Amino acid sequence: MKVTSLPQPDEIKRDVEASANDDPLLQHEDFYMDGPYVVFTAAYHLRRGFCCSSGCRHCPYK
């Protein structure tokens, strides 16, 4: 897996806020915690509808 850069906290906050305006994020369905990291699931990425090019672990758009 090629990781170009890790998402920055402001990018994650923007994604969470955008999702909160539609549907709230559900832990274990949309994301889970891996230590200090928020890891988005493939289901979340599909609902989001596009690739952010951050090398996400579960990106279905690779």
| 11-50 tens-digit pLDDT | 666 666 555 456 788 898 999 999 999 999 999 999 989 9
Domain boundaries, the chain: 1-62
| 1-19 tens-digit pLDDT | 555 566 666 666 666 655 5
pLDDT score at 24: 85
pLDDT score at 19: 53
- Measure Cα distances from 21 to 2, 3, 17, 61 in Å: 31, 29, 6, 24
